[in-house]
Amino acid sequence: MNRIYDWFRLHIFTVDLVGALLLFLLFGVLAAVGATGSGVHLAISAALILPLAWRRTRPVAAGVVIAVVALVQWAFAILPGPYDVAVIAAVYALAGYAPRWASLSGLVVALLGGVMVATRYYNHADGLTLANLPYAGLICILAWLLVLVSWAIGDLTRSRRLRLQALEDRSNRLEVEQQHERALAASDERAHIAREMHDIVAHSLSVIITQADGARYAAQRDPGVAPATLATIAETGRSSLQEMRRLLGVLRGGSDDASTRPLPSLADLDELLLGFRASGLELTFSTVGKARRQLPAGAELTAYRIIQESLTNVLKHAGASARGAVELSWTGRGLAITVTDDGRGLSAMPVAAAAAPDPITGGGNGIRGMTERVKLYDGSLSAEAPPDGGFRVHAIIPYSET
């Protein structure tokens, strides 16, 4: 049934053309067969009915043609016939499918036509007198009723058509918006995965590379350093592997395969800093103030990743003798994170970056990833090289107000 309806909806002109031909055969030919001057009636019926083939595709043009033909019929005193139903159909078509001005204009012209038909009919017969004036008025009223009913039905059709079109447009807009939302969600998820992989792998590989290079030179002087260094490398590798398994388990969508290890938070900072100190980085940590409320788990993960990424950059770029400092400051607004070092600063970054490219992308995505993380919680991040040397990363993560 839907397929039939769709075919009728997609082939409007064909349907209207067939309907006009059927009306012409039913009213025009039959009226012309039994009338005097059948050729005239046949021509009038064809001129009135056949334009209905364009009643929905070209309603204004079809209405104008039918109005002109009806005026010619009135001017030459050709008696109305069954084919004049085309006038009523034209009024309906103008009300349902033409612009508003054409709809109202067609209504006015048809109402005037009702008066003209009544007067012309009685002039053709006995003339319009006081005796037959009530009958002429009755015919005029009947014509008006037909016109008004057809126009009202057409106007209802117009309202229904516009409402269905509005619903269809809204459905199309919703579908497009859903596609955009899915694309944005996929993009956000890809960015989230990229940040997680960068933070996990870049940190772990930086520690492993630093430990391996340090052990290679230190073992020449003191072979006893090698076991402790290899233990640090192994622990870092296992931790990174567990994080990767958790991330891949989430990506597969199977909760049974995903690791049940909780996401890192501020409570895990001691373990994180211990790993950097074991890598040879001289590091200080301080906390100022107390938290007014606990940050959401995602915000704590963001703070953890910012510290992790900042210290990884210190380990990679600041130099062998650089010292780092991490400060957490709880304010009335939220958590302020400051990570500084006294290394070679921004002037040595291109050389360092060329010597140790990003393990994931081959370029520097750390600061961009940190900025994206902070913006998710309406925070801000700045990374700069102070005039006195070194590098400084400062981030603010506000409380989530409820």
Output the tens digit of pLDDT for each of the chain's 402 residues: 678 877 777 888 888 889 888 888 887 766 666 555 567 878 888 899 999 999 999 999 999 999 999 999 888 878 777 888 899 999 999 999 999 999 999 999 999 988 888 877 655 445 555 666 777 788 888 889 999 999 999 999 999 988 988 898 888 888 888 888 887 777 777 776 776 676 666 667 766 776 676 666 666 666 766 676 777 777 777 776 776 776 666 566 554 544 555 678 888 888 888 888 877 788 999 999 988 888 888 888 889 989 988 888 888 777 777 889 999 999 888 999 999 998 876 554 443 343 334 433 334 567 887 888 888 888 999 998 888 888 999 999 998 754
Helical pair 38-49 and 59-75, crossing angle rounded to 10 deg: 160
| CATH no., domain 265-402 | 3.30.565.10
| Cross-strand partners of 395 | 337, 381
Report domain extents, the chain: 2-176, 265-402
- Could you write out the DSSP letters of every residue in 255-269? TTTS--PPPP-GGGH
Closest CA to 97 of 55, 138, 135: 55
Q: What is the pLDDT of residue 199?
A: 67
3-state secondary structure 165-217: HHHHHHHHHHHHHHHHHHHHHHHHHHHHHHHHHHHHHHHHHHHHHHHHHHHHH
Task: Please give the angle made by the CA atoms of 159, 162 and 166, to the nearest 5 degrees.
Answer: 135
Specify burial of residue 363 (Cβ count, 10 A radius: 0-12, 13-18, 19+).
Answer: exposed
Sheet holding 380-384, edge to edge: 282-288, 323-330, 334-341, 391-398, 380-384
Backbone φ and ψ of 336, nearest 5°? -110, 130
Residue 112 one-letter amino acid: L
Residues in the chain: 402
Contact 328, 286 (CB under 8 A): yes
Residue carrying the six token digits 């957490």: 328
Alpha carbon dihedral 109, 115, 118, 122, in 10-degree steps, equals -120
Q: What is the pLDDT of residue 316?
A: 78
Helical pair 297-317 and 269-278, crossing angle rounded to 10 deg: 10
Q: What is the pLDDT of residue 214?
A: 66
CA atoms of 382 and 359, how far apart (whole Å)? 23
Q: Is 46 helix (H, G, I), strand (E, B) or coil?
A: helix
Q: What is the pLDDT of residue 112?
A: 92
3-state secondary structure 7-43: HHHHCHHHHHHHHHHHHHHHHHHHHHHCCCCHHHHHH
